[in-house]
Structure 1
């Protein structure tokens, strides 16, 4: 049975305090609370700055078994260097401590800016550099800058498979050649709901699905109605069974994905009006996945000190 992971992009937001987080919950316990209300979170601090093995170890320790983190890769690689001369930044990223998450490591998100256009040769060279397992990640990390070589930087499970997902925001990627490249390297195309601001596609290009729901009416702020969540539930149920909805929006409709069930990672990024944790919880409930979770939004935590 394919696994379903649903949560939020990030967890440290001031407007959530006294709303999603119970009044009086100390900030150091926010991850403990959030990780017991949903079963996955997308770490986005890693997009802005490299983290450390110690920090990743701490996050792992604060979360229960079977909880999963996905990691947003550094903007230095995708937005600043724009995939040029990225060998050292890649090595530094994989030396920054991701391996400390161990079984809690989900997928790695590579988000590209709206100004970044599809270049087949450049994209293929990038995808070819991405490590596909812990052994390759360890080898890459060993080439990092000396400043990154602190305790734990090489702690990777050798046989641990790594998953990568790409989020695009430029119409030039609406090209079957791009879909073919992703399938060649088993990299997921992010299914990104962006209130129609950027391209939307549902091509299945890997053995898992990665979703980012930024808001269907207003970017980053609008919540999802019950009807909208039911629609997402139905689509996710099809994808996890290796099927496509009849009305799937595809870049490459003439090419078929490989068959088989797919794990799903789904993250809500409509946090401005404190919608993401509630939408995530509602979608988890629709799949009957909250039985093992210990807390509910806004309620006093169980076993977590205020």
Structure 2
């Protein structure tokens, strides 16, 4: 076992018109955009899988266009999480996991299960949902991360549930959604959403530096001392953790530059 985890910085998707000017080289064919993004970044969060299924050949093609060590995070289908009773999500979860995602092979990173902002924490139902998330698919290990966006989840009971099933919660740097900085799995997943298009690196350099130090602390097995914890009395295991950090939403025009700036510091 290494002494520290791997830190990967990335963006959401690779198709965005503004990146034709701010990120991709002039005259680069769109068919080469993923290949180029993979050469500059270490991870990409795929949003399209939230809205619809893909073909196995599509996942295989994505995997072939990025280098060794690069991983995709996939946002799980909305039909799995946008429901009143999460315990009834088994058919939708199975459909999502069997569409061909394992064609990504070792390029398959965490699966993000995102919930609507109106979804409240119901402990028994949420644990039933966590029980539905398999540890492997087609012989490939799976990592799961949840993104609740309602304040009712900010209770120690939720943190303990996640730790029980080795599931992470999103460290959300967002104006409205709650942040879950408590490490509950063998990896940490952050979505940095407060950037601006006016900032060349999406986030100001000093803030990128702060996040870099936090991520290094997580990777080394610690817990950053300057982020609010939901369960401050809990002691998280001091073990190396991989870190996935995405510049998402705010400041999207320069999100790739934010990710590259962060990657240089870690």
Instruction: Give TM-score scaled by structure 1 length.
Output: 0.81
The yes-or-no answer on 1:191 pairing with 2:171 is yes
Return 5+ residue gaps in structure 1 as ranges.
Answer: 138-155, 288-306
Q: 1:131 to 1:19 in 2, by over 3 A?
A: same
Give 1:64 deviation, angstroms: 1.2
Distance in 2, matches of 1:207 and 1:200, equals: 18
Over 3 Å off, 4+ runs: 270-273
| SS in structure 1 at match of 2:208 | helix
- Does 2:207 align with 1:228? yes
Determine the structure 2 residue equivalent to 1:270.
249
Match of 2:193 in 1: 214
Matches within 5 A, 1:94-113: 94-113=97-116
What's the C-alpha RMSD, in Å, of the aligned pairs? 1.8
Residue 81 of structure 1, CA deviation? 5.8
1:181 aligns to 2:184 (yes or no) = no
Larger-gyration structure (1/2): 1
In structure 2, C-alpha distance between the alignment counterparts of 1:222 and 1:18, rounded to whole Å: 15
TM-score with structure 2 setting the length? 0.93
Partner of 2:144: 164
In the alignment, structure 1 residue 50 sits paired with structure 2 residue 53:
yes
Q: Is 1:22 matched with 2:1?
A: no
Deviations 1:22-62 (A, max 9, x none): 12111111101100010111111101111111110010011
- Indicate how the Cα distance of structure 1 residues 4 and 176 shifts in structure 2: closer, same or farther if over 3 A, else same: same
**Structure 2: where are the runs of 5+ without partners?**
none
Show the counterpart of 2:221: 242
Cα distance in 2 for partners of 1:277, 1:170 equals 28
Q: Name the SS of the counterpart of 2:253 in structure 1.
A: coil
**2 CA distance for matches of 1:165 and 1:179?**
12
Give the C-alpha shift of residue 161 in structure 1. Answer: 2.0
